Structure 1
Amino acid sequence: MEEIAIIGIGLQPFGRNDGMSGQAQGAAALRAALKDAGVGWEQVGVAYGGSQDGGNADALSNHLGLTGIPFVNVANGCATGGSALASVVASLQAGVADIGVAVGFDKHPRGAFNPKPADWGLEDWYGETGLMLTTQFFALKTQRYLHEHGIPEEALVHVAQRAFRNGALTPHAWRRRELSFEEIAESMPVNLPLRKYMFCNPAEGGAALVLCRASEARRYTDRPVIVRAAAMRTRHHGSFEVFSPGLAAKQAPAPTVTASKAAYEMAGVGPEDIDVIQLQDTDSGSEIIHLAENGFCEHGEQARLLREGATDIGGRLPVNTDGGCLANGEPVGASGLRQVIEICFQLRQQAGARQVPGTPRLGYTHVYGAPGVSAVTILEAR
């Protein structure tokens, strides 16, 4: 199957962009990606994109031009960006078009997300218990995970400390102040063991990619990034996911586990080959869990890796080099594509003060969304 390359990247910085609609932020990111690739909108033959609260992604054609392009709206929670990218890759491999784009954007109101149980196939009792509030669900899941694997709560602090340290090195990050161990550990409890600085914020912003067949990529750029794998999987019965109304007697692997295994198989590599990593870190506990679920360590090893600096920019497993969701916030539709853009910066050697040492060749991204959707990409500098 023919390889696909990323030839253009564009980012509307995350945070609060008052006076700018979600769609306008998506359009700004898409224009930037097209400019980076040296491609006109009229040359794009297929598009996939998504937004949770910012409006329909296909309406970006009103901003870019009504060209008749097949533009598919994607809605997979926090995995929207990864799902859009996987869809564009499949379309280009199928010969639907020569050039495609993946785009995501959002504009969330302040405060926690407020989903309705019925929209997720659940009865009202689930919301009445408080579990529709994702901060509470993930705190319970984290508490259980730390207990089962003997991980101290200080590991949660180390995740957040590194995220804000990396965010301080990232010009487009929202949160750019480094925080001390004590500031994080003593911050306001939200849902214990998770505290204020261990959660990301719902945010605004946009992200976009332009892709084409790898054989044509150097017509547009001298720094193509090859998509070695783009896999998306949903949950199996018995996996313990957000909006799960109960625990099965026998737990099944998480969709992250199945998506990561599929991606490694597609790319013909293993976790030991990856040079730079982006993991879903909507909270500190989620990153800890995802480190193991994506194969980068055994369950229970995370505390030692974090304490020793293995996940730092200069470590052997550099994770979330731009500060991840904790430092950038999460506009749901755009978040997964921000991860890919950061890996492109790293593989292109354009990451500035946060550039990982040496010459990274393989990068990895992972997103996880409700009610149990995971998307993984493996990218290569060539």
Structure 2
Amino acid sequence: MNDVAIIGVGLHPFGRFEGKSAMAMGVDAIFAAVADAGVEWGDVQAATGGSWTVANPDAIVGMVGLSGIPFTNVFNACATAASALKTCADGIRLGDYDIGIAIGLDKHPRGAFTEDPALVGMPRWYAENGQYLTTQFFGMKANRYLHDHGISQRTLAKVAAKNFRNGALNPNAFRRKPMAEDDILDSPMLNYPLTQYMFCAPDEGAAAAVLCRADIAHRYTDKPIYLRAVEVRTRSYGAYEVNTTCAPVEEDVSPTVYASRAAFERAGIGPEDVDVIQLQDTDAGAEVIHMAEAGFCADGDQEKLLADGATEIGGALPVNTDGGLIANGEPIGASGLRQIHELVRQLRGEAGDRQVPGAPRVGFAQLYGAPGTSGATVVSR
């Protein structure tokens, strides 16, 4: 079995790009990643990619070069990019090829995610009563969690304000204007306790990562980042997560718990070893919840950690240093590879004004994709 290294990352900025297709953004991300890796497109021997809005992202080879490589399409909702990364890495680990690329791209219309639930096997009434990928579900989930663990609504505002500050330092972010906590709290209430600016926005963008066998990584870069683990897990029967009304009342833990534990076990690294963290912040409540689910704190400890500045760029647990989804928005297929792009930049010491101090060595990324798939990734220098 081969170890795997990330030798290049590329990103098309996230935001709104009138007249530019998701595929065109994907082309830009691919060429940026290939250039960053110090290879040519002809050196890439396999690709994996995913998108919500593009039915066949494999067609991108017609835009970057018809080299005949195998291309595997994947889709796992918001966990799509983690799935693409894992599929690419597994091919290298098994010795099928030496160099591969993982790609994510999407272009969403303005507004909340309200796609047809039938696309993921759910009955239409699930959307009609406000529970499918809408602000209603996220509000209900955050409200219950805050109530159960004694966390204030202001803590949610702290999460959003922190991510807006970090986004202001990120030239590729969608929202690049800091926002005060009080302004976030005073913005229109969408679904209690979540106000307008506690949510991410569906938008547009693309990202890519070039992977290779770890033993040949130094041929291409003097700063390889090693992919220690990528684990994907689905929800168990009864888990308290999206689509709970199709499960019994008894609750289990989120698939994020299982994916994170599996990733740390495979990597031989614990949460206490992580220097920089990327968590899915579809809303501010999600970041709070995922902090505990991924193992970085106990349920209820988030209030003090946020108040003490632990999750700031200079804190003990820097979370979403590039602004996360709240500042970047979410083109579903690309979000997870945006996380990897940020972790690679951080571990290389190339994150500029948002660089975590102290030469970080270990990074962690987490994604949660409805209706119940979670991905967790561990990388290190």
Instruction: Assess same fold via TM > 0.5.
Output: yes
CA distance 1:133–1:277, shift in 2 (3 Å): closer
- Report the residue type matching 1:250 in the other structure: E
SS of residue paired to 2:245: coil
Residue 184 of structure 1 deviates from its aligned partner by 0.4
Q: CA separation in 2, counterparts of 1:202 and 1:249?
A: 31
Residue pair 2:237, 2:247 contacting (<8 A) in 1 also: no
- Report the residue type matching 1:117 in the other structure: P
Residue pair 2:157, 2:198 contacting (<8 A) in 1 also: yes
- Report the residue type matching 1:5 in the other structure: A
Q: CA separation in 1, counterparts of 2:139 and 2:153?
A: 12
Which residue matches 2:295? 295
Which residue matches 2:306? 306
SS of residue paired to 1:368: strand
SS of residue paired to 2:238: coil
5 Å-filtered alignment, 1:216-365, equals 216-246=216-246, 248-365=248-365
Residue pair 1:26, 1:207 contacting (<8 A) in 2 also: yes
SS of residue paired to 2:217: helix
Provide TM-score, normalisation by structure 2: 0.98
SS of residue paired to 1:31: helix
- Report the residue type matching 2:316 in the other structure: R
Residue 120 of structure 1 deviates from its aligned partner by 2.4
Identity of aligned residues (%): 55
Residue 55 of structure 1 deviates from its aligned partner by 4.2
SS of residue paired to 2:63: helix
> Deviation per CA, 1:139-158, whole angstroms, max 9, x where unpaired?
10111111111111111101
SS of residue paired to 1:208: strand
- Report the residue type matching 2:359 in the other structure: T
Residue pair 2:133, 2:370 contacting (<8 A) in 1 also: no
Residue 182 of structure 1 deviates from its aligned partner by 1.1
SS of residue paired to 1:231: strand
Provide TM-score, normalisation by structure 1: 0.98
Residue 247 of structure 1 deviates from its aligned partner by 5.2
Residue pair 1:244, 1:371 contacting (<8 A) in 2 also: no
- Structure 2: runs of 5 or more not aligned: none
- Report the residue type matching 2:96 in the other structure: V
Which residue matches 2:199? 199
Q: CA separation in 2, counterparts of 1:133 and 1:12?
A: 25
Residue 133 of structure 1 deviates from its aligned partner by 4.3
Residue pair 1:46, 1:96 contacting (<8 A) in 2 also: no
Residue pair 1:198, 1:326 contacting (<8 A) in 2 also: yes
SS of residue paired to 1:367: strand
Which residue matches 1:124? 124
- Report the residue type matching 2:176 in the other structure: R
Which residue matches 1:85? 85
Are 2:213 and 1:213 aligned? yes
SS of residue paired to 1:306: helix
Runs of 4+ in 1 over 3 A off after TM superposition: none
Residue 2 of structure 1 deviates from its aligned partner by 2.4
SS of residue paired to 1:11: strand
- Structure 1: runs of 5 or more not aligned: none
Q: CA separation in 2, counterparts of 1:279 and 1:136?
A: 21
Residue 246 of structure 1 deviates from its aligned partner by 4.3
- Report the residue type matching 1:16 in the other structure: R
- Report the residue type matching 1:140 in the other structure: M
Residue 250 of structure 1 deviates from its aligned partner by 2.2
Residue pair 1:134, 1:242 contacting (<8 A) in 2 also: no
Residue 354 of structure 1 deviates from its aligned partner by 0.5
> Deviation per CA, 1:249-268, whole angstroms, max 9, x where unpaired?
32112110000000000110
- Report the residue type matching 1:362 in the other structure: V
CA distance 1:249–1:113, shift in 2 (3 Å): closer
Residue 380 of structure 1 deviates from its aligned partner by 0.6
> Deviation per CA, 1:84-124, whole angstroms, max 9, x where unpaired?
00111111001111100000010101111222232222222
Is the deviation greater in 63-72 or in 269-278? 63-72
Q: CA separation in 1, counterparts of 2:300 and 2:78?
A: 26
SS of residue paired to 2:24: helix
Q: CA separation in 2, counterparts of 1:117 and 1:248?
A: 20
Residue pair 1:21, 1:54 contacting (<8 A) in 2 also: no
Aligned length: 381
Are 2:214 and 1:184 aligned? no
> Deviation per CA, 1:28-83, whole angstroms, max 9, x where unpaired?
10011011112122221111101111342101111111121110111110100111
Q: CA separation in 1, counterparts of 2:267 and 2:133?
A: 36
Q: CA separation in 2, counterparts of 1:77 and 1:144?
A: 24
Which residue matches 1:73? 73
Residue 131 of structure 1 deviates from its aligned partner by 1.3
- Report the residue type matching 1:359 in the other structure: A
- Report the residue type matching 1:216 in the other structure: I
SS of residue paired to 2:244: coil
Residue pair 2:225, 2:379 contacting (<8 A) in 1 also: yes
